[in-house]
């Protein structure tokens, strides 16, 4: 016990003495959380559009002002020349072209099908999809409203109310489809993972590089004592960072905390050990901080992209979904969202926690086994 | 009390086809200063790593402080001190913190450690510098400090791997005075060096050539045996026969 205390004291002394380390540990995560949470959003804002209005009617003007009033679209270019509009799209000035043909209003008022064309720049598929659905809903609203007017005018008798099935979606758990609510729990996971994956492992490789590990290996320190000395400090720091992040999420971003905070912390504790063990494993197969850093980054990028942070795991191809089964970050992101946003309790998440526990135990055992005081 | 601090018989270490240490057999008496000489690449460091429990031998026998290097490596570690050419102090800790860390690691009790730390700082003249980071200390002081820390737990044997590399003759002389003091306390000193004048200070020396131990004896014996004036001459005669290049 005393040896572990001696080791911990030394680690903390070194961490807190390192002037470049403190900002990395406590300031960078906060900045990342703030920047990423506002930046990583799927919300559509200020889509530039071009307008080719050949109709120049009351209805066409109403339609355009609808788009503008929605707050999502900005009229960047108005022209009668389709070539010019396409050119603007080629140059990336506009992401959508609305083309309203002559006779648009007349067709509408006389009960015929009124046509109009939307051309959407689909280089970025998900944005294109959003533009399309936002536009459709604007057009649908306009259609419904104007249809009532037209019907009233045409048939002086009672207006024919459309009897179509009207779907009104209810978005549970995140009623306003607020992306910050969705992103923040996931980003917190990424921040904690960075601390866990990089720092413990890097710390051991650093001792290898400067040669002090050899000195430690000729002392009677036991392997488990050494490992605890390396794991615990960054575990504590990771948990402190998570608490800061959670406080920011709750009071800064107003993220709902439906579930139990202690459940989150308990899972975070297990998750951190798992990801730290992976860092230790990396340190036992590398000789320089550069190598360790590269491997850690490689894994981190794969974990994040296959972690369901940006793209839902359910929409990945099967092979990729299978890969996420061994991705600790995917489990923790899912658990965080379930607990914080849906109020899930132990019953709902226990299977995922068991998987994390299993992964953590295996990784920890393998890395302790691989770390050798005596070379063979 | 053991007669021999180190006993080896046919100790060998292979790296693939390469025999780094080739059947070396020697004894180091309790309390003596044993110089371990050899050109670069002769196998000194490999031999020392086997004796300190950092490397498992391929074959042969070795007992350090009466303990078997194969089965009792961890127990050996409690009874030896080690200082390598790379200074195994933490640059970002102060002199005092380094003392407390290594003392704690060897299980020295807190009250005893405070007292020992105080003595050590006084003896090495580092009282004023106790709160200074090790990286800000001059090289000679770092070496003195590293050596003092290596014997803080009063080991049976202290291994010094090229302890005086890169310092001026005056500092080297002071360092050897420290080695004599330690030896007088009954601690066996096992030291590798490239300085032939230092070899003359040892009770006995051995010279390794191509992984073999080609000479073993007191400096006077070796000089006589090879009809040489100095150990340097003996060394050059032996090293000339080496097939392995330096480095």
pLDDT of residue B79 exceeding 90, the answer is yes
pLDDT at A155: 59
> Distance between CA atoms of B28 and B7, rounded to whole angstroms?
6
pLDDT of residue B246 exceeding 70, the answer is no
pLDDT at A245: 92
Contact B97/A at CB under 8 A: yes
User: How high is the mean pLDDT of chain B?
Assistant: 90
> What average pLDDT does range B118-127 have in this prediction?
88
Lowest mean pLDDT among A303-312, B29-38, B72-81: A303-312
Residues of A in contact with B88 (CB under 8 A): 211-212, 214-215
In chain A, the domains with their CATH numbers are 12-40+179-370 (no CATH), 47-154 (3.40.1710.10)
Residues of B in contact with A210 (CB under 8 A): 86, 91
Question: Phi and psi for B162 in degrees, rounded to 5?
Answer: 45, 60
* Close Cβ partners of A299 (under 8 Å, ≥ 6 residues apart): A197, A278, A282
Lateral strand order in the sheet of B188-192: B80-83, B157-161, B188-192, B33-38, B204-209, B212-217
Contact B147/A at CB under 8 A: no
Q: Tell me whether strands B188-192 and B204-209 are parallel, antiparallel or unpaired.
A: unpaired
pLDDT at A23: 86
Suggest the residue from B105, B146, B151, B156 to mutate for an interface test with chain A (most A CBs closer than 10 A).
B105
Contact A20/B at CB under 8 A: no
Residues of B in contact with A221 (CB under 8 A): 105
Lowest mean pLDDT among A261-265, B50-54, B125-129: B125-129
> Distance between CA atoms of B46 and B25, rounded to whole angstroms?
15
Contact A6/B at CB under 8 A: yes
pLDDT at A137: 85
Q: For residue B213, what are the β-bridge partners?
A: B208
**Chain B residue with minimum CA distance to A3:** B105
Inspect the interface and report whether the beta carbons of B88 and A6 lie closer than 8 Å.
no
Inspect the interface and report whether the beta carbons of A214 and B88 lie closer than 8 Å.
yes
Inspect the interface and report whether the beta carbons of B101 and A6 lie closer than 8 Å.
yes
Q: Which helix (H) or strand (E) holds B152?
A: none
Contact A2/B at CB under 8 A: yes
pLDDT at A174: 67
> Distance between CA atoms of B8 and B70, rounded to whole angstroms?
12
Residues of B in contact with A225 (CB under 8 A): none
| Residue recorded with tokens 């209003």 | A105
Residues of A in contact with B77 (CB under 8 A): 218-220
pLDDT of residue B47 exceeding 90, the answer is yes
pLDDT at A159: 46
pLDDT at B196: 86
The radius of gyration of chain A from alpha carbons, rounded to an integer in Å, stands at 29
pLDDT in tens, chain A (376 residues): 789 999 999 999 999 888 888 888 888 888 888 887 777 666 677 889 999 999 898 888 988 988 888 888 889 888 898 899 999 999 888 999 999 999 888 888 887 888 889 999 888 877 888 888 888 888 888 888 887 777 776 655 444 445 556 667 777 776 666 777 888 899 899 999 998 999 888 888 988 888 888 889 899 998 889 999 999 999 999 999 999 999 998 898 888 888 899 999 999 999 999 999 999 999 988 988 999 999 999 999 999 989 888 778 888 888 888 888 999 999 999 999 999 988 888 888 999 999 999 999 999 999 888 888 777 6
More confident residue, B116 or A130: B116
Residues of A in contact with B74 (CB under 8 A): 220, 222, 373
pLDDT at A40: 66
Contact call for residues A249 and A331 (beta carbons, < 8 A): no
The CA distance from B208 to the nearest CA of chain A, in Å, is 22
**Chain A residue with minimum CA distance to B54:** A374
Return the DSSP state at A249: I
Neighbours of A232 (CB within 10 A): 18
Contact B59/A at CB under 8 A: no
pLDDT of residue B147 exceeding 80, the answer is yes
pLDDT at A158: 47
Inspect the interface and report whether the beta carbons of A374 and B106 lie closer than 8 Å.
no
Residues of B in contact with A218 (CB under 8 A): 52-54, 77, 80, 82
**What's the fold here for domain B31-59+73-240?**
Rossmann fold (3.40.50)
């Amino acid at each position: 016990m005393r040896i572990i205390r001696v080791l911990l004291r030394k680690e903390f002394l070194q961490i807190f003495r390192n002037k470049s380390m403190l900002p990395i540990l406590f300031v960078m995560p906060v900045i990342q959380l703030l920047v990423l949470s506002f930046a990583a959003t799927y919300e559509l804002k200020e889509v530039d559009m071009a307008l080719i209005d050949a109709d120049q009617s009351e209805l066409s003007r109403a339609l355009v002002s609808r788009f503008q009033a929605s707050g999502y679209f900005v009229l960047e270019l108005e022209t009668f020349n389709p070539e010019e509009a396409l050119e603007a799209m080629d140059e990336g000035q506009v992401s959508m072209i609305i083309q309203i043909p002559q006779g648009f209003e007349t067709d509408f008022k006389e009960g015929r099908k009124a046509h109009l064309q939307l051309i959407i720049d689909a280089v970025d598929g998900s944005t294109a999809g959003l533009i399309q659905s936002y536009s459709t809903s604007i057009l649908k609203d306009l259609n419904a409203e104007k249809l009532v007017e037209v019907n009233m005018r045409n048939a002086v008798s009672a207006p024919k109310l459309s009897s179509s099935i009207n779907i009104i979606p209810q978005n549970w758990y995140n009623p306003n489809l607020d992306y910050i609510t969705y992103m923040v729990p996931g980003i917190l996971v990424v921040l904690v993972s960075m601390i866990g994956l990089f720092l413990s492992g890097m710390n051991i490789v650093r001792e290898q590089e400067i040669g002090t590990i050899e000195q430690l290996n000729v002392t009677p320190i036991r392997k488990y004592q050494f490992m605890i000395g390396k794991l615990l400090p960054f575990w504590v720091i990771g948990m402190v960072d998570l608490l800061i992040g959670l406080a920011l999420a709750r009071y800064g971003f107003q993220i709902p905390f439906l579930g139990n905070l202690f459940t989150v912390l308990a899972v975070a504790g297990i998750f951190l050990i798992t990801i730290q063990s992976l860092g230790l494993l990396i340190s036992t197969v590398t000789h320089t901080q550069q190598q360790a850093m590269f491997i850690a980054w490689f894994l981190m990028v794969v974990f994040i992209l296959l972690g369901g942070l940006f793209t839902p795991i359910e929409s990945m191809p099967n092979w990729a979904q299978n890969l996420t089964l061994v991705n600790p970050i995917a489990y923790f992101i899912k658990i965080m969202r379930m607990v914080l946003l849906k109020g899930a309790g132990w019953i709902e998440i226990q299977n995922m926690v068991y998987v994390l526990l299993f992964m953590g135990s295996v990784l920890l055992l393998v890395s302790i086994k691989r770390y050798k005081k005596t070379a063979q | 009390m053991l007669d021999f601090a180190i006993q080896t018989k046919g100790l060998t270490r292979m790296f693939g086809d390469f025999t780094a240490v080739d059947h070396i057999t020697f004894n180091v008496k309790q309390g003596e200063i044993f110089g371990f000489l050899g050109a670069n690449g002769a196998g000194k460091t490999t031999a020392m790593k086997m004796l300190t429990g950092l490397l498992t031998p391929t074959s042969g026998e070795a007992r350090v402080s009466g303990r078997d290097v194969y089965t009792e490596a961890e127990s050996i570690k409690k009874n030896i001190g080690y200082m390598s050419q790379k200074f195994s102090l933490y640059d970002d800790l102060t002199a005092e913190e380094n003392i407390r860390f290594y003392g704690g690691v060897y299980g020295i009790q807190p009250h005893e450690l405070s007292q020992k730390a105080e003595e050590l700082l006084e003896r090495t003249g580092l009282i004023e510098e106790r709160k200074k980071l090790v990286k800000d200390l001059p090289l000679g002081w770092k070496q003195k400090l590293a050596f003092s820390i290596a014997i803080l737990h009063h080991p049976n044997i202290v291994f010094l791997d090229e302890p005086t590399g890169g310092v001026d003759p005056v500092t080297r002389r002071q360092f050897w005075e420290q080695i004599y003091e330690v030896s007088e306390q009954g601690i066996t000193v096992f030291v590798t060096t490239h300085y032939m004048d230092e070899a003359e200070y040892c009770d006995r020396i051995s010279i390794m050539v191509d992984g073999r131990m080609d000479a073993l004896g007191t400096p006077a014996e070796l000089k006589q045996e090879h009809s040489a004036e100095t150990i340097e001459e003996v060394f050059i005669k032996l090293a000339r026969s080496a097939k392995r290049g330096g480095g």
